[in-house]
Amino acid sequence: DGGITQSPKYLFRKEGQNVTLSCEQNLNHDAMYWYRQDPGQGLRLIYYSQIVNDFQKGDIAEGYSVSREKKESFPLTVTSAQKNPTAFYLCASSIAGGSSGNTIYFGEGSWLTVV
């Protein structure tokens, strides 16, 4: 089945550690995104990528890093510099090309908890 796969679903991190969330898509989409969702809050954009080897910061990029070495993969690293990383993280993708009429498809999300 085509879709977006995020892993792990649940992750616990000790303070001071970096963790990486995986996101893989087989939809042949050019654009990929990472969003953060806190309880009662809307989705906030962390990073997005239009094409391979290129990505841009979103609204809350501080403390996060990404890479886009392959079209299918867009991993997110939550670094120790992120002071409040406990949240629900959503990876998404869409057909790019400059059109704003493309639906964004989401993965099932990853829960990150700092212990």
Partner 1 sequence: KNQVEQSPQSLIILEGKNCTLQCNYTVSPFSNLRWYKQDTGRGPVSLTIMTFSENTKSNGRYTATLDADTKQSSLHITASQLSDSASYICVVSKGGSYIPTFGRGTSLIVHP
Number of H helices, E strands in the chain: 0, 11
Among 46, 107, 112, 114, the residue binding partner 1 under the rule CB under 8 A is: 107
Q: How far is the CB of 4 from partner 1 (least distance, A)?
A: 8
Among 43, 52, 60, 61, the residue binding partner 1 under the rule CB under 8 A is: 43
Among 13, 22, 27, 45, the residue binding partner 1 under the rule CB under 8 A is: 45
Q: Which residues have CB under 8 Å from 2's CB, separation 6+?
A: 26, 27
Q: Does 41 bind partner 1 (CB under 8 A)?
A: yes
Q: Does 2 bind partner 1 (CB under 8 A)?
A: no
Q: Which is nearer to partner 1, 11 or 96 (CB)?
A: 96
Residue 22 main-chain phi, psi, to 5 deg:
-95, 145
HSE-CB at 34 with a 13 A cutoff on CA atoms is 30
